[in-house]
């Protein structure tokens, strides 16, 4: 299986322009026969908590229909980040588009302290299945709770994929944490991060892939948008940059 993480430079609150940027990266993944591509936390809007109320949508909003069309046409699973609303609550969510299936959602379970009072936390989990692979999704501060990755292991996931906003000051700690998860649970681990600036943070990039021994086998740079592709059969990694 080929799985990709996308590294993007978000435009603050510019949903339609960010959707077009997503499409460019998805097209590159499709050329390489990628079966699933995962974007960073809140990738469609950028990480902008103060705008979450006005930018949030129902997870099945037609605004994102193009992703379902692309998923159906190219048989690729697409995971994008978006603030969603339900019953007057706002969530940090991954919206998941699978070929010829209804879209689904995974919402962040563990909130960073500055997110409390703006967002609500959910208690769901998400595993995606492709052939013999089972992929568990995480969103950024989910990594703060060791039980999150442990539950992925208990559900027999062999891949753990984190959508994050990671700053220059915080990236190293999470790289260590994700490597440890891969080694402890003998699973591939991937991380999708931003470059540029978002939410007042200077984003670190370095979207990464670890093998099931916890070894870093691929990483994008700290400044360019791109796609990092893992072939799980042979642990080969491809990098594609969009300049």
Measured CA to CA, the distance from residue 30 to residue 86 in angstroms comes to 32
Give SS3 for 128: strand
Classify residue 38 as exposed, middle or buried by CB count within 10 Å of its CB (0-12, 13-18, 19+).
buried
Q: Which domain holds residue 118?
A: 2-242
Q: Is the pLDDT of residue 38 over 90?
A: yes
Number of compact structural domains in the chain: 1
Q: What is the pLDDT of residues 109-135, one digit of tens each?
A: 999 999 999 999 998 888 999 989 999
Question: What pLDDT score does 76 carry?
Answer: 98
- In sequence order, the β-bridge partners of residue 159 are 135, 188
Tokens representing residue 197 in the block: 């600036």
Hey, what are 189's tokens?
């681990």
More confident residue, 131 or 239: 239
DSSP state of 40: P
pLDDT of residue 57: 97
**The pLDDT value given to residue 211:** 98
| pLDDT tens-place string over residues 8-25 | 999 999 999 999 999 999
CATH of the domain at 73: 3.60.110.10
Tell me the whole-structure pTM to 2 decimals: 0.97
CA angle (72, 160, 87) in 5-degree steps? 65
């Amino acid at each position: 299986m080929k799985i990709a993480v996308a590294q993007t430079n978000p435009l603050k609150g510019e949903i339609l322009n960010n959707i077009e940027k997503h499409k460019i990266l998805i097209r590159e993944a499709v050329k390489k026969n990628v079966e699933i591509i995962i974007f960073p936390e809140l990738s469609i809007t950028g990480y902008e908590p103060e705008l979450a109320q006005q930018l949030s949508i129902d997870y099945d909003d037609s605004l994102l229909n193009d992703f379902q069309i692309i998923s159906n046409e190219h048989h690729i699973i697409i995971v994008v980040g978006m603030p969603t609303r339900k019953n007057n609550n706002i969530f940090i969510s991954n919206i998941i588009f699978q070929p010829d299936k209804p879209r689904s959602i995974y919402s962040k379970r563990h909130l960073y302290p500055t997110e409390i009072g703006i967002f609500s936390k959910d208690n769901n989990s998400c595993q995606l299945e492709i052939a013999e692979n089972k992929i568990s999704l995480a969103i950024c501060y989910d990594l703060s709770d060791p039980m999150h990755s442990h539950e992925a292991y208990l559900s027999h996931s062999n891949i753990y994929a984190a959508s994050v906003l990671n700053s220059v000051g915080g990236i190293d700690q999470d790289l260590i944490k994700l490597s440890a998860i891969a080694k402890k649970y003998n699973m591939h681990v991937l991380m999708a991060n931003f470059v540029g600036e978002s939410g007042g943070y200077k984003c670190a990039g370095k979207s990464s892939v670890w093998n099931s021994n916890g070894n870093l086998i691929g990483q994008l740079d700290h400044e360019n948008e791109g796609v990092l592709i893992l072939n799980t059969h042979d642990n080969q990694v491809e990098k594609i940059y969009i300049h």
